[in-house]
């Protein structure tokens, strides 16, 4: 075995053995199946070593299993082991196809700005690229992509790696920005840093980041505070986190 082996093992019980089939979606949208839950299924030498999660639903049964793949070792998952009698019976009576997702742990590094803004329109104006794209190709060579880029003295960054929000609800950042990407991974640390810098009730944030292996599209030379009419955001440095 040169790399890894992931085994979906058939359940040990025989009564009401599930005949339901499911798909397995690997990273990169590589779909396998359909696979019967009563059969053993293997994925060999295709997933690199690392930490993973298997997530999805079989009928109304939530599947969320963490596991690690190691080179030269087989990792076995038995999906039906945690199901009770009623759930096994329901699965046996169903012909519904489900999809379970194999998610690999990702390492992420992001610049963060946090502070106050008087409206979501003000934030949108800061990030707007309309003026830039109205210029000629020659004019763009000397222009900033947005007013946000001007505040950072960066003519270009990839907006696909940027996310920003303005919210007033919630008693803490996790509640206030609950709809934003990976908030469970960064909200607590961002709130701690904001508190250390004396910020009270911040309602606006910007994050710009990505994989540390490929920083070209999001890295900034000298990130700094944003101070414009109606919006003041402190730069609180990078936050590193992982997600699936």
Q: For residue 194, what are its two tokens?
A: 């904001």
Beta strands 5-8; 41-44: pairing state: antiparallel
pTM: 0.75
pLDDT in tens, 74-110: 999 888 776 777 777 776 666 667 888 888 888 999 9
Q: For residue 243, what are its two tokens?
A: 């997600």
Nearby residues of 184 by Cβ (< 8 Å), 6 or more positions away = 174
pLDDT in tens, 133-183: 999 999 999 999 999 999 999 999 999 999 999 999 998 999 999 999 999
For the chain, the farthest-separated pair of C-alpha atoms sits apart, in whole angstroms, at 72
In sequence order, which ranges of 63-197 are alpha helices (DSSP H)? 85-92, 120-127, 130-133, 137-140, 147-151, 173-176, 183-196
Q: Where are the domains of the chain?
A: 5-104, 107-243
């Amino acid at each position: 075995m040169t790399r890894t082996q992931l085994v979906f093992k058939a359940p040990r019980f025989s009564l009401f053995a599930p005949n339901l089939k499911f798909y397995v979606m690997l990273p990169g949208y590589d779909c396998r199946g359909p696979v019967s839950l009563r059969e053993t299924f293997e994925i060999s030498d295709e997933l690199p070593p690392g930490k993973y999660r298997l997530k999805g639903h079989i009928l109304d049964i939530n599947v969320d299993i963490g596991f690690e793949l190691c080179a030269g070792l087989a990792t076995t998952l038995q999906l039906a082991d945690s199901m009770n009698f009623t759930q096994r019976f329901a699965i046996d009576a169903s012909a519904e196809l489900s999809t379970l997702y194999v998610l690999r742990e990702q390492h992420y590094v992001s610049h963060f700005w946090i502070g106050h803004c008087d409206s979501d329109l003000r934030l949108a104006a800061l990030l707007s690229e309309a003026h830039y794209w109205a210029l000629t190709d020659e004019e763009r060579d000397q222009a900033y992509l947005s007013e946000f880029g001007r505040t950072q003295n960066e003519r270009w960054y990839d907006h696909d790696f940027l996310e920003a929000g303005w919210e007033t609800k919630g008693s803490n950042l996790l509640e206030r920005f609950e709809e934003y990407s990976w908030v469970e991974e960064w909200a607590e640390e961002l709130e701690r840093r904001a508190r250390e810098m004396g910020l009270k009730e911040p309602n606006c944030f910007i994050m710009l980041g990505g994989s540390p292996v490929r920083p070209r599209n999001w890295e900034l030379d000298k990130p700094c505070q944003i101070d414009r009419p109606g919006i003041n955001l402190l730069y609180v440095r990078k936050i590193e986190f992982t997600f699936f």
